[in-house]
Amino acid sequence: MSLSMKILIFMCAFGWGVIFYFAAIGTPPEEHYLCGNRPERVVARRDKRMIGGENVKVRFWPWQVSVQYQPNSSAPFTQVCGGAIVHRYWIMTAASCVNEQQQSQFLIRAGSSRLDVDAKSTQKSEVARIIKHKRFNPVSLRYNIALLEMATPFKFNEFVHPICVPDEDTADHRYESCHITGYNAQPGDDIGVLQEAEVELMSRSLCNKPEYWNYTVAADMLCVGDFGGGVDGCETNLGGPLNCYIKIEERYFLIGIRVKATSCGELNRPNVYLKVYSLYYWIEREMNITSD
């Protein structure tokens, strides 16, 4: 069961009928949106990388965020990574995207189909706290995960909405389809536009062959994309989500976050993602969501 889907069910019998009361743990009454609650996307497969590929409106992937960084007070905020909303106070991204000592220099932007336009749907928040996994290894990229607590909570609506965090049981379900999403950063195309691409999951043993990632894909990682270099998220979408639809649940789950970004659309370099479900209990403990 996902973090956002934990439900208490109280059954009280009164005379001739039974009353059911549902209370979503950690979810305010005004937030009636269930995590990952979007229709399954059907996207035509294309022999193009995601960056430079299919533009899409943020309402289709409302948990997608842009992790932005300001190097100094006179510089603008620019995207350095992607991320995903998992709670109104929290986003998930890669640990290699952020530095705790530079916390005040990060900004999270949600609800945007384009990064060059502040639409009515756009929401922004400063970062109140950065939690990186203590076992994160910047060389092997093991445990490459970070949770960012927002200074201002997101207001959930059609354009800003959480994705479900899977546990190990969720991983046993069949994924109907998986998509990578992120903001285009390639010159010559619509820079800063949200894009999507459907991807296939690959076996770790195949991805680890010498001609591919040469045994550098660890046990807590998985590979997606193709070996022809056609689908990619590119460097500024490190930390971005792998969104997989589970039909039996009728919703999307955050199956992975991108942890390798050493190439962009390169031959024999499939995208590498951290298995989010392998760290479910760490996520649950660090977020420590009991009430809002």
One digit per residue, the tens of pLDDT, for the chain of length 292 reads 555 444 333 333 334 443 333 333 344 444 456 899 999 987 655 444 454 458 899 999 999 999 999 999 899 999 999 999 999 999 999 999 999 889 999 999 999 999 988 999 999 999 999 999 999 999 999 999 999 999 999 999 999 999 999 998 887 788 889 999 999 866 556 678 999 988 888 888 999 999 889 999 999 999 987 655 556 566 678 999 999 999 999 999 999 999 986 666 677 788 899 999 999 999 999 998 654 5
**The pLDDT value given to residue 224:** 87
* 97 lies in some domain: yes
Residues 155, 168: one domain? no
**The pLDDT value given to residue 175:** 87
Q: Where are the beta strands (DSSP E) in the chain?
A: 7-14, 17-24, 54-55, 64-69, 78-87, 90-93, 106-110, 123-132, 146-150, 177-183, 194-202, 221-225, 241-246, 251-258, 271-275
Residues 157, 168: one domain? no
Element containing residue 206 per DSSP (H, E): helix 204-207
Residues 106, 152: one domain? yes
Residues 145, 168: one domain? no
**The pLDDT value given to residue 14:** 36
Q: How many domains does the chain have?
A: 2
Residues 271, 179: one domain? yes
Plot region of 52 (φ>0 → left; ψ -120 to 50 → alpha; else → beta): left
* 10 lies in some domain: no
* 231 lies in some domain: yes
The pTM for the full model equals 0.84
**The pLDDT value given to residue 19:** 35
* 56 lies in some domain: no
Give the three-class secondary structure for 105. Answer: helix
**Which CATH number do you get for residue 148?**
2.40.10.10
Give the residue numbers spanning the domain of 232.
163-277
**The pLDDT value given to residue 237:** 83
The Cβ-side half-sphere exposure at 230, using a 13 Å CA radius, reads: 12
* 12 lies in some domain: no
